[in-house]
Structure 1
Amino acid sequence: MRTSTRPARRLAAATRPHLSHARDYGPGFLVKLGLMAAVDALGVYGLLACWREGSYGILAALAALLVVANYVYFARRTLPAKYIYPGLAFLLVFQIYVVAYTAWVSFTNYGDGHNSTKQHAVEALLAQHERRVEGSETYPLTVVADGDALGFAVVEPDGDVAAGTAERPLEPVAGATVTDGRVAELPGWTVLAYQDVLERQQEVTALRVPVSDDPGDGSVRTQDARTGYAFTPTLQHDEQADTLTDTTTGTVYRPTDEGLFAAEDGSTLDVGWRVPVGLENYATAFTDDRYAGPFLRVLLWTVAFAVLSVVSTFLLGLFLAIVFDDVRLRGRRAYRTLLILPYAIPGFLAALLWSGLLNRSFGFVNQVLLGGAQVPWLTDPWLAKLSVLGVNLWLGFPYMFLVCTGALQSLSSDVLEAARIDGAGRWRTWRSVTLPLLLVSTAPLLISSFAFNFNNFTLIYMLTRGGPRFDDASVPLGHTDILISMVYSVSGLDGTAAKDYGLASALSIVIFLIVGTVSAIAFRQTRKLEEVV
């Protein structure tokens, strides 16, 4: 006799939709809700900051990331994305965006004199080219505020008090309290305390308050927040003709494709704006005598430094790993602990310490170990390179020692035993079995070590700062500079040259392509090692 299952099926069908829409509002959901609320609050803060700064592209990208994050973590069918999304978001923000922005800058003239937009350049030129109005008085000045707008309150020669902002010319204000010749209280205005003035110092020095409705009367400005002078611009901007005219000489300046205002005689104004320049920065890097010669030498040294650093640290680390892998050696744990001490010291601090130890005049190496010798470890071109390699060996071998120790201990004893049974000697076993198996696990780390040393800015900057300098180069580059430190010098951030972010970005893209290409080829070749397994 067969029993009907229809009632059970109907019951399951009736309850299935209800169960499928059920949601667990337990502690885990509440924790997720709290974390997402914090992420959304931080994201909204970022959106408001982007809106205030006018960064609408970043605003749109950030809004998209927030929307996708909320969908992924509150949807029910996006379990894999919950684990993948954080990594993808960081990849987009810290890798893809950075590379794309650097590439965009490399096609512009961004640098000193070309820092912003054309409108900002005009405003800066009008502000910088000013002269004091003849016969104007010196005004005792007080910094005040009308809401969020900064302003100046001045005591005029007749004793009256006037106040105004950048948008409102000076107007008389009744009922002001003047103490020691300066305004202490002003009805309808807030007198800024000294600490508040210091916090907004840049705004105060950039502020210009018109003396009257007539632009010819000039504007009051100050440098010390206590004394004001009336200045009038010597440049006049014609928005329709898009020209700047020097009112003292009558010279007319017109915009050019290079992002500058230029006159017919070839003279230019000192502030420009960012414009696309195509491949000009790349052409400068490879064809300009100022950079082409040093670039080739720096490139060759960079490759040699990266390769020699990887080879030397790996061989020393492997040798020590083999030695301390022998069970017959007593005190292996203590020795291993001592060997990894250099790895525990921050790299920038260790390089700085070695810079002092290798000092020619009072370094510990010359004065104590070499009995007062004057060896130019960091000032001779070849000795400086050897010093860089030696210090990097001291810093890098503990990492390779740890990697090789772990790789050796993970090798299968069965494979080694099979090699010995087949009659392979110790050297044959090492060359044909141990080393290939070791390289399978360490080759990716060697490639990453090459990429790291290719851009090891910290060691070069802290130890030698790229020196000693090239004698025949017109740019501040030296014998131990690698490409990344060359980028830093060319950018002008070290203060030794004019800032040229466009050229520095072009060199950064070249470094990215070199490292990416070498890494891709190396990873492709390491696949052949897997055939051994």
Structure 2
Amino acid sequence: MTAPQSTLDADTSAPPPESHARRWSGLGVGFIVKLVLMAAVNAVGLLAIIAAFQAESWIVFGFALALLVIADVVYFTKKALPLKYLLPGLSFLLIFQVFIFLYTGYIAFTNYGSGHVGSQEQAVEAALAQGERRVEGSPSLPLAVVERGGELGFAVVLDGEIQAGTADEPLDSVGAAPASGAPTEVPGWNIVPRNNIISDKALQDQVVDLRVPVSDDPNDGSIRTRDGSSGAVYLSTMTWDPESQTISDSASGAVYTATDDGRFVSEDGTALPAGWTVNVGFANFVELFTNPAMLQPLAMVTGWTFAWAILSVAIPFGLGLVFALIFNDPRVRGQKVLRTLFILPYAFPAFMSALLFRGMFNAEFGVINDFFFGGAQIDWLGDPWLARFAVLFVNVWLTYPYYFLVCTGALQALPQDALEAASIDGAGKFRQLRSIILPLVLVSTAPLLISSFAFSFNNFTVIYMFNNGGPAIPGAPYALGNTDILISAIYDISGVSGGAADYGLASALSILVFIVVGVISAIAFRQTKKLEEYQ
């Protein structure tokens, strides 16, 4: 007996029952992995957002928030499949390239550097701290050193209650005072044992240097301690008036007024050491071209940078091409062994090689003078031109194996029929080299030469590790040297190696270097198209 037609239609149209195992596999291990990865991404993103919010860095805050929202939308929707693959690469591009470039551009238009770090509020606090004196007749307050979230603070007994705070958070009531002595329990804080302070010199210095404001008004003074068990109110001889934007020194009677360039300056031109970051427009760019103290040294550095970049490409390329032509000749025996020996410098780390050559070129005990110049006292690192020759020699030794490998590959890829046809037509070896081999080799190596020029233009490692850009240019600011190139000059101006730092000026110079390298590379890439006529 057959079933009714309606029953058959129902049976065939109904989907088969799905087992529990299939439902679980439908959820997918990949989905679970995605949840775990996105949870980690959200955790890191939220930490960055919170840190930027606390630091009041609104650009970073907005950038991190937007990136996190986009990531969640892309990976938890089915309509953005291509972006699921593109977003990681785009994110790294935005973070490590675009954002850094934009932030560098922002710093280039500020006075950020030594004496101009942070906000005006922080500059006021620093100025008041410099003139601090203990308030005459102020009582010693029972004190305990406390800690919360890795940040040190003070808890003192004041006005019959326990008040605690940190350098960034003024004193605030946290509980009732004990019957006597310093607080032994502070709600919400961990008390740092006194024995730990006594036995740890670094911790002692932090405690002695710590200042906890009494209130939000910096003119009310701050709590300081000398022994970690008692504190007193210290008040600065400086008084801050936010309405008139002045700081008055009661000891000397001087009045320091806030200026547009982020400083407190008195009528006689004396400025307080602490300043703050402000927008200075194109002042940094103007200084690079108009400041006499900077103009001549930077002109020398710029000229040497172009010479360095050109010679660091032309000489190693020529040397590598010559060796490639020699060892590509089938008549040369032991080609594999010889090629291996010639590319050995390429296997050594550049910074280690630069340090080794620095010792070898030493005027007193270097092997260069001892073995090749009969022990003569040639000051390779002290004379400007000898130092330039030496560092260029080191860079050629490090880079020619790269061009040797590239040119060898280009020569082996040449069409042999073209060379055979030229030989049949009577072209000699030199004519083949000039008219066929070199143009075809340049077609394949020109992009590499352009990128190598950009790399050499910013080759900081060899310059810094060999002799730190020395010898020094007499009278030059920021310790600029005769073998400094623009990138190492930026390093010196930034103050990372010590001395005064001017991040705004260094950023402005970085922007100019970027523009110069970009323009030269663009022009060179356009010119390389002419070589394609030989293909």
Q: Structure 1, unaligned stretches of length 5 or more? A: 1-13, 16-22, 178-182
Q: Equivalent residue of 2:260, what SS? A: coil
Q: Aligned partners of 1:217, 1:42: CA distance in 2, in Å?
A: 39
Query: Which residue of the partner structure matches residue 509 of structure 1?
Result: 511
Query: Which residue of the partner structure matches residue 384 of structure 1?
Result: 387
Q: Is the Cα contact below 8 Å between 1:170 and 1:209 reproduced in 2?
A: no
Q: Aligned partners of 1:525, 1:329: CA distance in 2, in Å?
A: 36
Q: Is the Cα contact below 8 Å between 2:155 and 2:183 reproduced in 1?
A: no
Q: Is the Cα contact below 8 Å between 1:163 and 1:171 reproduced in 2?
A: yes
Match of 2:54 among 47, 52, 55: 52
Query: Which residue of the partner structure matches residue 94 of structure 1?
Result: 96
1:417-473 deviation digits (Å, cap 9, x = unpaired)? 343344433222222222112111111111111111111111111111111112353
Q: Is the Cα contact below 8 Å between 2:143 and 2:183 reproduced in 1?
A: no
Question: 1:121 offset after TM fit, Å?
Answer: 1.2
- Asked whether 1:494 is paired with 2:497, we answer yes
1:59-79 deviation digits (Å, cap 9, x = unpaired)? 221232233334445555655
- Structure 1's 26 and 164: CA in aligned 2 closer, same or farther, altered over 3 A? closer
- Asked whether 1:190 is paired with 2:190, we answer yes
Question: 1:145 offset after TM fit, Å?
Answer: 4.2
Q: Aligned partners of 1:213, 1:39: CA distance in 2, in Å?
A: 37
Q: Aligned partners of 1:289, 1:426: CA distance in 2, in Å?
A: 55
Query: Which residue of the partner structure matches residue 323 of structure 2?
Result: 320
Q: Aligned partners of 2:149, 2:461: CA distance in 1, in Å?
A: 47
- Asked whether 1:110 is paired with 2:124, we answer no
Query: Which residue of the partner structure matches residue 177 of structure 2?
Result: 173
Q: Aligned partners of 1:212, 1:172: CA distance in 2, in Å?
A: 19
Q: Which amino acid aligns with 1:66?
A: L
1:10-50 deviation digits (Å, cap 9, x = unpaired)? xxxx99xxxxxxx9755555555544443333323322332
Query: Which residue of the partner structure matches residue 340 of structure 2?
Result: 337
Query: Which residue of the partner structure matches residue 10 of structure 2?
Result: none
Q: Aligned partners of 1:330, 1:524: CA distance in 2, in Å?
A: 41
Query: Which residue of the partner structure matches residue 39 of structure 1?
Result: 41
Q: Equivalent residue of 1:232, what SS? A: strand
Q: Which amino acid aligns with 2:192?
A: L
Q: Aligned partners of 1:32, 1:403: CA distance in 2, in Å?
A: 42
- Structure 1's 154 and 168: CA in aligned 2 closer, same or farther, altered over 3 A? closer
Q: Aligned partners of 1:118, 1:171: CA distance in 2, in Å?
A: 33
- Asked whether 1:238 is paired with 2:241, we answer yes
- Structure 1's 71 and 350: CA in aligned 2 closer, same or farther, altered over 3 A? same
Q: Aligned partners of 1:216, 1:446: CA distance in 2, in Å?
A: 63
- Structure 1's 446 and 211: CA in aligned 2 closer, same or farther, altered over 3 A? closer
Question: 1:147 offset after TM fit, Å?
Answer: 8.3
Query: Which residue of the partner structure matches residue 393 of structure 1?
Result: 396
Q: Equivalent residue of 2:267, what SS? A: coil
Q: Aligned partners of 1:472, 1:215: CA distance in 2, in Å?
A: 42
Paired residues for 1:66-465 under 5 Å: 66-73=68-75, 76=78, 78=80, 80-134=82-136, 142-145=144-147, 150-152=152-154, 164-165=164-165, 166-168=170-172, 173-174=177-178, 185-186=184-185, 188=187, 190-193=190-193, 194=196, 204-205=207-208, 207-209=210-212, 218-222=221-225, 225=228, 228=231, 230-465=233-468
Question: 1:332 offset after TM fit, Å?
Answer: 2.0
Q: Aligned partners of 1:117, 1:74: CA distance in 2, in Å?
A: 40
Q: Is the Cα contact below 8 Å between 2:74 and 2:84 reproduced in 1?
A: yes
Matched residue pairs, number?
505
Q: Aligned partners of 1:216, 1:346: CA distance in 2, in Å?
A: 56
- Asked whether 1:528 is paired with 2:530, we answer yes
Q: Aligned partners of 1:480, 1:426: CA distance in 2, in Å?
A: 41
Quote the sequence identity (%). Answer: 51
- Structure 1's 26 and 151: CA in aligned 2 closer, same or farther, altered over 3 A? closer
Paired residues for 1:1-16 under 5 Å: none
Q: Is the Cα contact below 8 Å between 1:176 and 1:186 reproduced in 2?
A: no
Q: Which amino acid aligns with 1:376?
A: D
1:100-131 deviation digits (Å, cap 9, x = unpaired)? 22222112111111111112211221222212
Q: Which amino acid aligns with 2:430?
A: W
Q: Aligned partners of 1:261, 1:155: CA distance in 2, in Å?
A: 36
Q: Is the Cα contact below 8 Å between 1:168 and 1:210 reproduced in 2?
A: no
Q: Structure 2, unaligned stretches of length 5 or more? A: 1-13, 16-24
Q: Which amino acid aligns with 2:63?
A: A
Q: Is the Cα contact below 8 Å between 2:115 and 2:273 reproduced in 1?
A: yes
- Structure 1's 299 and 161: CA in aligned 2 closer, same or farther, altered over 3 A? same
Q: Equivalent residue of 1:231, what SS? A: strand
Q: Aligned partners of 2:219, 2:38: CA distance in 1, in Å?
A: 57
Q: Aligned partners of 1:43, 1:101: CA distance in 2, in Å?
A: 19
Q: Equivalent residue of 1:237, what SS? A: strand
Q: Which amino acid aligns with 2:416?
A: S
Q: Equivalent residue of 2:352, what SS? A: helix
Question: 1:347 offset after TM fit, Å?
Answer: 1.2
- Choose 418-427 or 384-393, whichever is displaced more: 418-427
Question: 1:248 offset after TM fit, Å?
Answer: 2.6
Q: Equivalent residue of 1:436, what SS? A: helix
1:495-514 deviation digits (Å, cap 9, x = unpaired)? 1x321111111111111111
Q: Which amino acid aligns with 1:96?
A: V
Q: Equivalent residue of 2:273, what SS? A: coil
Question: 1:369 offset after TM fit, Å?
Answer: 4.2
1:463-488 deviation digits (Å, cap 9, x = unpaired)? 11111112353552221111111111
Question: 1:259 offset after TM fit, Å?
Answer: 1.2
- Structure 1's 45 and 171: CA in aligned 2 closer, same or farther, altered over 3 A? closer
1:234-253 deviation digits (Å, cap 9, x = unpaired)? 11122233322222344332
Q: Is the Cα contact below 8 Å between 2:301 and 2:482 reproduced in 1?
A: yes
- Structure 1's 522 and 366: CA in aligned 2 closer, same or farther, altered over 3 A? same
